[in-house]
Chain A
Amino acid sequence: METFLLFISAIFVNNIVLAQYLGNCPYLGCSKEKGVAFGMGAAVIFVTIMATLFTYLIQAHVLIPFHLAYLQTIVFILVIAALVQFVEMFLKKMVPPLYKSLGIFLPLITTNCAVLGVAILVQRKEYDLVTSVLYAVAAAAGFLLALILMAGIRERFEITRIPRSMRGVPIGLVMAGLMSLAFMAFKGMIA
């Protein structure tokens, strides 16, 4: 039951994009087509899980024993960037089909704040390792959901009459705001 609540909380109530405003760059950049949105979302799920796992271990076995918790942010950035590079090389060699579908998105995620955000949030909430990874899955799934919803709406924009001054990024930002507002309706359901 707790796992279920964790998922509902991370996907809807505290959606990483729409309620915590992390990862807005790929949210607006990769949401022009549903296919691209799905690829990006899948890549984020994959990287978030890996990054959370690694940063958790680094935090528990390096930073805390040596009393260096104040280096958290910079160390996490370093670890995530190196990890994404490694994963990209690994996939290219070992799992070419997965590399083909995720490959072009991986370099974009290197410095994605949603990934770093999840890694830091699980530390702040003091989850254990299993809960952290589950939270990472759920938060990244929430990212995927937001991205696909946005892509669906933006595909409709293509055939909608929009005032010239609002076309493109402006209407995208307005839409992002409205979607965020809609997700605010979940607030208070679960902490």
Chain B
Amino acid sequence: MITASVVTLFSLGFVSAGVLAIASKVLYVEEDPRIEVVTEALPGANCGGCGFAGCEAYAAAVINDPDMPPNKCCAGGPDVAARVAELTGKAAGDSDPQVAFRRCVKVEGKVAKKFEYFGIMSCAAAKMVQDGPDACKYSCLGFGDCVRSCPFDAMWIEGDLVHISPEKCTSCGTCVRTCPNSILELIPRRARVQVFCSSQDKGKAVKDVCEAGCISCGACIKKCPAQCISTVDERIVIDHKACLAYGPSCEEVCVEKCPRNILRCLNPDMISAAPETEPATYPEESHVADLQA
């Protein structure tokens, strides 16, 4: 009985081992050793800014797919792009550096509170209660879900609004995916004009709750000579690529024509300025007036 058991188990184990050994030879998948090298060249933050699950997934894609550009890693920036390009033998191309940007100025617009919120201090939770405690349901809720999600420590809450440090922001887009109100978006660092409201409501509904909200008058859309302003989901969207390509000859007519001061022109240097001068995403009135003059 013991002999039979031992012999059976031994032979079964032996057969399984043999099959697995043969299988591992026959079914061996060759993995490009370059994938490992590229993975090491990447920052390893696994932020997902490139659109892949992690740094390794992007490394595999950039090696295996000849059309995959080597500059997808926004966290690493140009240095990493150059290194990846060198390792993969691809042209580095020029990546237009981007930065996260908050489309809301509810403090300036004096948005009132509908009610006092005492629940969990999270935007996602607050959003579930009557669309949040702010009178405007498209506003920055200010509970800092994005701040907690930011892998690079580039955001902070101040005066009920989120602020972004352009120095630290790597435009990975984690905050953009986190924000339940879609307040945050990625814009090119050298974007000429920014939209400071993300309301999807029409005229009166916006006027009632915010002094600085977009009333969808459409003046900017009509006036833009490059036709790069449009509405997507009832929100004003600027095609920054087309805007930058058109150049400064329009003299920012959209900024001038906006009756609510939603479109603003920020000095491109300001967006990449040091965080001490902070109002990168929050300009003083005088600055805007200067640009309009």
**Complex: A68 Cα to B12 Cα, angstroms:** 13
- When distances are taken between beta carbons in the complex, the residues of chain A under 8 Å from B125 are 159
Q: Which of A71, A85, A161 contacts B120 (CB 8 A)?
A: A161
Q: Which of A82, A86, A94, A159 contacts B124 (CB 8 A)?
A: A159
**Complex: A165 Cα to B122 Cα, angstroms:** 20
- When distances are taken between beta carbons in the complex, the residues of chain A under 8 Å from B124 are 159
Report the tally of A-B residue pairs with Cβ distances under 8 A: 47
The segment out of B19-27, B38-46, B104-112 that lies at the interface is B19-27
Binding site for B on A (CB under 8 A): 62, 66, 68, 71, 74-75, 78-79, 82, 85-86, 89-90, 92-94, 159, 161
Q: Which of B8, B16, B122, B128 contacts A71 (CB 8 A)?
A: B8
**Complex: A66 Cα to B4 Cα, angstroms:** 9
Residue B5 at the chain A interface, CB threshold 8 Å: yes
Contact B4 A85 (CB under 8 A): no
Residue B68 at the chain A interface, CB threshold 8 Å: no
What's the minimum C-beta distance from A111 to chain B, rounded to whole angstroms?
Answer: 15
Residue B13 at the chain A interface, CB threshold 8 Å: yes
What's the minimum C-beta distance from A58 to chain B, rounded to whole angstroms?
Answer: 8
Contact B27 A89 (CB under 8 A): yes
Contact A82 B16 (CB under 8 A): yes
Chain B contact-residue range equals 20 to 34
What's the minimum C-beta distance from A54 to chain B, rounded to whole angstroms?
Answer: 11
What's the minimum C-beta distance from A155 to chain B, rounded to whole angstroms?
Answer: 11
Contact B23 A74 (CB under 8 A): no
Contact A90 B23 (CB under 8 A): yes
- Residues from 76 to 135 in B contacting A, C-beta threshold 8 Å: 119-120, 122, 124-125, 128
Contact B27 A92 (CB under 8 A): yes
Q: Would you list the 5 A-B pairs with minimal beta carbon distance, nearest first?
A: A82-B16, A93-B27, A89-B27, A159-B125, A89-B23
CB contact under 8 A between A92 and B29, given known A78-B16, A82-B20, A159-B125: yes
**Complex: A159 Cα to B143 Cα, angstroms:** 13
Q: Which of B12, B20, B29, B120 contacts A86 (CB 8 A)?
A: B20
Residue B9 at the chain A interface, CB threshold 8 Å: yes
Contact B12 A78 (CB under 8 A): yes
Q: Which of B8, B20, B128 contacts A75 (CB 8 A)?
A: B8
Contact B9 A86 (CB under 8 A): no
Q: Which of A74, A82, A93 contacts B29 (CB 8 A)?
A: A93
**Complex: A170 Cα to B122 Cα, angstroms:** 23
Q: Which of B9, B19, B119 contacts A78 (CB 8 A)?
A: B9
What's the minimum C-beta distance from A99 to chain B, rounded to whole angstroms?
Answer: 9
Q: Which of B16, B29, B122 contacts A159 (CB 8 A)?
A: B122
CB contact under 8 A between A90 and B27, given known A78-B12, A78-B13, A82-B16: yes
What's the minimum C-beta distance from A37 to chain B, rounded to whole angstroms?
Answer: 17
What's the minimum C-beta distance from A74 to chain B, rounded to whole angstroms?
Answer: 7
- When distances are taken between beta carbons in the complex, the residues of chain B under 8 Å from A161 are 119-120
**Complex: A125 Cα to B4 Cα, angstroms:** 26
Of the candidates A66, A78, A89, A93, the one having the most CB atoms from chain B within 10 angstroms of its own CB is A89
Q: A71-B8, A86-B19, A159-B128 are in contact. List 5 more A-B contacts (CB 8 A).
A: A68-B4, A71-B9, A75-B12, A79-B16, A92-B27
- When distances are taken between beta carbons in the complex, the residues of chain A under 8 Å from B128 are 159
CB-based nearest B residue for A160:
B120
**Complex: A108 Cα to B17 Cα, angstroms:** 20
What's the minimum C-beta distance from A97 to chain B, rounded to whole angstroms?
Answer: 14
What's the minimum C-beta distance from B59 to chain A, rounded to whole angstroms?
Answer: 15
- When distances are taken between beta carbons in the complex, the residues of chain B under 8 Å from A78 are 9, 12-13, 16
- When distances are taken between beta carbons in the complex, the residues of chain A under 8 Å from B29 are 92-93
> Digit string of B154-189 for contact with A (CB within 8 Å is 1, else 0)?
000000000000000000000000000000000000
